[in-house]
Structure 1
Amino acid sequence: MANIVLVYASMTGNTEEIANAVAEGIQEAGESVVVKQVLDATAAELAEYEAILLGAYTWGDGELPDEFLDFYDELDQLDLTGKKAAVFGSCDSSYEHYGAAVDILTAKLRERGCEIVSEGLKIELAPSDEERELCRAFGRQFVSALQPAR
């Protein structure tokens, strides 16, 4: 049984919808996941888990949302070597830097020692029914990436 945490930030509910669908995919794959909003989590908690998923919308023209800034800064104090991770987020193509928060968080997790097991999932605004299935598939794929090679 993998020990998975999913931490996200959502202003309008779009990233929350994505997070919920990713969590459903994890559960469909037979694993459980602890889901937390970023304001209810600390980066230090990530050390307690084997696998980490972060979700954030991109603010402004390519920045992390304000509520993720303290968490992001706290990551600098952690050694996450050996942990598997992936990042997702709600994006808006009307901005120059599409889904930059996903890229920023992926780079930080990699810098802290995580093995990034899936390319970042970027969904335009609120997920459609088809995109919700992509999110569930992302969750299932994440679980399969945690399984030891046979």
Structure 2
Amino acid sequence: MLTAHIVFATITGNSEEIADILADRLAFRGVAVQETEISQTDAYEFIQSDLLIASIYTYDQGKLPEESLDFCADLQTLKLTNKIYGVTGSGDKYYGQYYNIAVDQFAELFEKLGAQAGTARLKIELEPDEQDIEDLDRFAHNLVWTANNRQK
């Protein structure tokens, strides 16, 4: 059975809601899912899962959330070879060039550490609507498909 660990950081609750939807969509596909708030997550325990997922928001003018910094520092000491990742997040287009940039920063970190993208990055404006929920379902499908069909 595939396992997934979803970490989230949220101020408004939107990124946690995204994580909840993803957890549901992955469980529907038979994946054992763990979901934790990022500041309460041990990076070594996080990477024990097959699918590594982050649901994040962008702080201020393109910064990672403060509560994610220790996790990111710890993650950088680990190798993510043979891991599949997905990154999503909630943002507000009002912030222009900084809109959901933390999604890209997290994806780049996973790639730098050797993980393989299991699906395209998914940027959601504010809280997820019906279309976003469909996109999250496809996001979950793609992660599971990639994990089940990768070359080992």
Q: Is TM more than 0.5 here?
A: yes
CA distance in 2: counterparts of 1:127 and 1:3, whole angstroms: 24
Q: Indicate yes or no: 2:2 matched with 1:2.
A: yes
Contact 1:24 1:139 in 2 (8 A): no
Instruction: Name the SS of the counterpart of 2:145 in structure 1.
Output: helix
Shift of 1:137: 2.4
Aligned to 2:78: 78
Shift of 1:81: 0.7
Alignment-mate amino acid for residue 91 of structure 2: C
Unaligned runs of 5+ in 2: none
Would the alpha carbon gap of residues 149 and 51 (structure 1) be closer, same or farther in structure 2, given more than 3 Å must change? closer
Contact 1:21 1:133 in 2 (8 A): no
Unaligned runs of 5+ in 1: none
User: Does 1 or 2 have the higher relative contact order (CA < 8 Å, sep 6+)?
Assistant: 1
CA distance in 1: counterparts of 2:93 and 2:7, whole angstroms: 23
Alignment-mate amino acid for residue 29 of structure 2: A
CA distance in 1: counterparts of 2:143 and 2:4, whole angstroms: 10
CA distance in 2: counterparts of 1:123 and 1:52, whole angstroms: 19
Shift of 1:149: 5.7
Contact 1:118 1:142 in 2 (8 A): yes
Shift of 1:42: 1.5
CA distance in 1: counterparts of 2:132 and 2:148, whole angstroms: 25
Aligned to 2:26: 26
Aligned to 1:15: 15
Shift of 1:129: 2.4
Aligned to 2:106: 105
After superposition, the CA RMSD in angstroms is 1.5
Would the alpha carbon gap of residues 149 and 112 (structure 1) be closer, same or farther in structure 2, given more than 3 Å must change? closer
Contact 1:86 1:117 in 2 (8 A): yes
Aligned to 1:121: 122
Alignment-mate amino acid for residue 26 of structure 1: L
CA distance in 2: counterparts of 1:136 and 1:148, whole angstroms: 18
Point out 4+ residue stretches in structure 1 off by more than 6 angstroms.
none
CA distance in 2: counterparts of 1:57 and 1:119, whole angstroms: 17
State the identity %: 32
Shift of 1:47: 3.0
Deviates more, 1:108-117 or 1:123-132: 123-132
